Amino acid sequence: MSSDSGHPTDVSRQRERPVSLFRSGAIGMALLALATVGLVAAAAVIAVVVAALG
């Protein structure tokens, strides 16, 4: 589906799903926490490598 702005898809045109505090919210928060843990793990690896090389 195209839109006025030329985008193939558009957020405002997408079908909205119900936003549930306890279900969708919990999944969304868990995913973000997981992503943060991934970021921290990547940073830890960088710290070890930099310290080893330095």
Partner 1 sequence: MLFRPDADDLKLIGLYTGTVVYGVGVVMLVPMMVAVALGERNEALAFVIGAALAVSAGAASRLAFRTRSSLGGGQGLVTVAMIWTVVPIFGAVPLLLSGHYAGYLDAYFEATSGFATIGLTLANDLDHMARSMNVWRHLLHMLGGQGIVVVVLTIFASAGGAIGSLYTGEGEKDRILPNVVSSAQFILRVFVAYAAVGLPLLWLAVWRAGLDPAPAVFHAFTLFITAFDTAGFAPMASSAAFYRSQLVESILVVVMVAGAFSFAIHYQLWQGRRQELIRNLESRTAAISVLAVFTVMAVGLVRTGTFTSTGELFRHGFFQTLSAHTTTGLSTVPGALFVSDWGALAPAMVVIGMALGGMAGSTAGGIKAIRIGLLVKGIRRDIRRVLLPENAVVVETYHASGPRILRDEQVRGAATLLILYLLLYLGGGMLGLFYGYDLRLSLFESTAAGATGGLSVGLVRPDLETPLKVLYIVQMLVGRLEFVAMFALAGYVVSVLRGRV
Give the footprint of partner 1 on this chain (CB under 8 A).
3-12, 14, 16-17, 19, 21, 24-29, 31-33, 35-36, 39-40, 42-44, 46-48, 50-51, 54
Task: Work out how close the CB of 23 gets to partner 1 at its nearest, in angstroms, rounded to a whole number.
Answer: 9
Task: Work out how close the CB of 30 gets to partner 1 at its nearest, in angstroms, rounded to a whole number.
Answer: 9
Asked if 24 and 30 touch (Cβ cutoff 8 Å), the reply is: no
- Greatest Cα pair distance in the chain: 54
Task: Work out how close the CB of 51 gets to partner 1 at its nearest, in angstroms, rounded to a whole number.
Answer: 4
